[in-house]
Amino acid sequence: MGITQIKDPVHGYVELPDALVDGVVDTRPFQRLRYVRQLSATHLVYPGANHTRFEHSLGVYHLGRTVFENLRGQSYFTRDADIDEIEEIQRTLECACLLHDVGHPPFSHLSEGLLDETTLRERIVDTGLVDAFDEAGVGGEPLRAASPHELLGCVLIVEEYGDAIRAFDVDPFEVCGYVLGYSLAYERGEAWQYGVGAQLLHSPIDVDRLDYITRDNRMTGAGVLSFDVDRMVDAYTAHPEEGLALTEKALSTIGNYLEGRIALYMWVTQHHKAVYANRLLQAMLGEYEAETGESPVTVDGVLGRELDDNTVLERLRIAARENPDSTLASMYDRFRGRRFPDTCWKHRIALADRIGSELGGRTGDLDDFTAWLVAEDDRLERMLAEALDVPTHEVWIDRSYVPAYDPDELEDIPIAYGGTTRSVGEWGLYGDRAFDVPIPFVFVPEGTKRTAIRLLRETFADETDEKEP
């Protein structure tokens, strides 16, 4: 079997069997991922952040294959499983790693909310995946909890890639299971190694996270992450009871991994300009639908192989040109010219300086203030817009569109030593670290920040006083 090499800026040469290239990589749905940016509009802040779901998928494949090959070299892992089972798990994992993001709509997570969930779930039922999960005893919870892009990916895996996957002697439903964090074979009572295959793609230490953490840091140039990827890859192990774990080889680098992931969230995804750029793009998508009566992102559009970032940006451009007096046109002009307003504060220090001092300087008061901003954002946006005499769409209270990262999850990472496993938290590797949480930003037109801050302070004080007994 021939091998194709693809040079990746993060991992070096990624090697794929020609059959996998022909059956998966060089197909229209997979090639569409070349035009879906990994970090949505973050390239307007970090110019190098033009990497896409395409190279990320190749990176996840490379890491998944490398880790599994290492596991195969551990005698404990192959005990009580024959070579045919191990080969089947690896083939399934490789397909799942390549295809795990094939359903991402334009701008990655940013436009998922526009996808019609009813249509999407009807398509899932048609694939037979619901019945497959039921027959394995898993039930419907994984499908109910799945994100839209995961469900879209499963539809594509079954409908577009079913024949190609079966030609590799792999079950398409099992590939979908891996994407959602389950092995249907394991749930049916097959060897425990099947479950480990799914964990490699969907767990606190999965290769999906490992790739996007290193890739986002490298491609943005943020430089907030420094840990030994090769050493961590070599540290993967597995046990029948605990499943996927890390050996003590990871002790020297796991702390950097934990801190690096949070640092990327705080200084890349949660960068105040990145928050604004992505919020503006998301708002433009909503204005397009209001202006044209059509959603710019649909289930059929993604399944039709053509809908990507470029296609949607062109739709926005045309709609803005044809409706020059619309809010969409104003937003589009701001987006293309990168005319982004400043936020009333850029980080927690500035927030404490401008708001906290007026609240007695107590941390609890500041936390109460930020919680109030998030809970009342729509009302406060309207209040500020009216007081500042500007259109409502020029005042935004927001934080990153990516869900906040909960460090507690990291305590579930098992470290294996001496025949036992203990979590990162139990080993004390997490220590007493207290990571910051994302704060909401307040974006207002130039020259109005001081007035906006004063209004927010006064309104919060008034409403807080009213609630006191």
Q: Where does the pLDDT of residue 417 fall: very low under 50, low under 70, confident under 90, or very high at 90 and above?
A: confident
Which of 164-173, 333-342, 432-441, 456-465 has the lowest average pLDDT? Answer: 432-441
Mean pLDDT lowest among 153-162, 235-244, 332-341, 400-409: 400-409
pLDDT band at 377 (very low <50, low <70, confident <90, very high): very high
- Predicted confidence (pLDDT) per residue in 158-197, tens digit: 999 999 999 999 999 999 999 999 999 999 999 999 999 9
In a domain, 272, yes or no: no
The pLDDT value given to residue 32 = 97
In the chain, the percentage of residues whose pLDDT exceeds 90 is 75
Residue 138: per-residue pLDDT: 93
Mean pLDDT, residues 120-142: 94
pLDDT (average), residues 85-113 = 96
pLDDT tens sequence across 250-259:
888 888 888 8
The answer to whether 204 and 129 have CB atoms below 8 angstroms apart is: no
pLDDT of residue 259: 81
User: Is there a domain that residue 265 lies in?
Assistant: no
The CATH number covering residue 144 comes to 1.10.3210.10
Instruction: Indicate the SS3 state at residue 230.
Output: helix
The residue-averaged pLDDT of 208-215 equals 94
Asked if residue 422 is part of any domain, the answer here is no
* Pair of tokens at residue 354: 């401008």
Task: Write down how long the chain is.
Answer: 469
Q: Is the pLDDT of residue 405 over 70?
A: no
Structure confidence at residue 406 (pLDDT) = 56
Confidence of residue 403 (pLDDT cuts 50, 70, 90): low
Please, which residues bridge with residue 268 across strands? Answer: none
Residue 450 DSSP code:
H
Where is pLDDT greater, at 412 or 237? Answer: 237
Q: Is the per-residue pLDDT at 303 higher than 50?
A: yes
Whether 326 is covered by a domain: the verdict is no
- Phi–psi pair at 342, nearest 5 degrees: -75, 160
Is 29 a member of any domain? yes
Which pLDDT does position 359 carry in this prediction? Answer: 56
Are 163 and 149 within 8 A, CB to CB? no
The reported pLDDT for the residue numbered 13 is 97
Element (H, E) at 195: helix 192-201
- The pLDDT score that the predictor gives to residue 361 is 41
Per-residue pLDDT band at 362 (split at 50, 70, 90) = very low
In a domain, 330, yes or no: no
Token pair of 82 as six digits: 């024959």
Spatial CB neighbours of 279, under 8 Å, sequence gap ≥ 6: 396, 398, 401, 443
Please give the structure tokens belonging to residue 31.
Answer: 């090639």
Mean per-residue pLDDT for 300-322?
95
The confidence score (pLDDT) of residue 26 equals 97
What tokens were used for 283?
A: 């708002």
Which has the minimum average pLDDT: 71-80, 150-159, 412-421, 449-458? Answer: 412-421
Element (H, E) at 238: strand 236-239
From residue 218, give the alpha-carbon distance in Å to each of 49, 191, 226, 229, 379. Answer: 9, 38, 10, 13, 39
CA distances from 22 to 25, 157, 172, 304 (A): 6, 15, 17, 20
Number of domains making up the chain? 1
Residue 168: which domain range? Answer: 3-221
DSSP state of 205: T
Whole-number Å distance between alpha carbons of 415 and 228? 17
Residue 227 lies in a domain: no
Q: How confident is the model at residue 86 (pLDDT cuts 50, 70, 90)?
A: very high
Closest by CA to 140, choosing from 148, 149, 150, 129, is: 129
Residue with tokens 């998508």: 285
How high is the pLDDT of residue 363?
Answer: 43
For residues 304 and 468, the model is more confident at 304
Segment 8-62, tens digit of pLDDT? 999 999 999 999 999 999 999 999 999 999 999 999 999 999 999 999 999 999 9
Q: What is the mean pLDDT of the chain?
A: 91
Q: Domain for residue 462, yes or no?
A: no
Residue 142 contacts residue 124 (beta carbons within 8 Å): no
Q: What is the pLDDT of residue 227?
A: 84
**Secondary structure (3-state) at 393:** helix
pLDDT score at 364: 53
pLDDT attached to residue 324: 97
Mean pLDDT of the region 363-390: 90
pLDDT per residue as tens digits for the range 439-453: 999 999 999 999 999
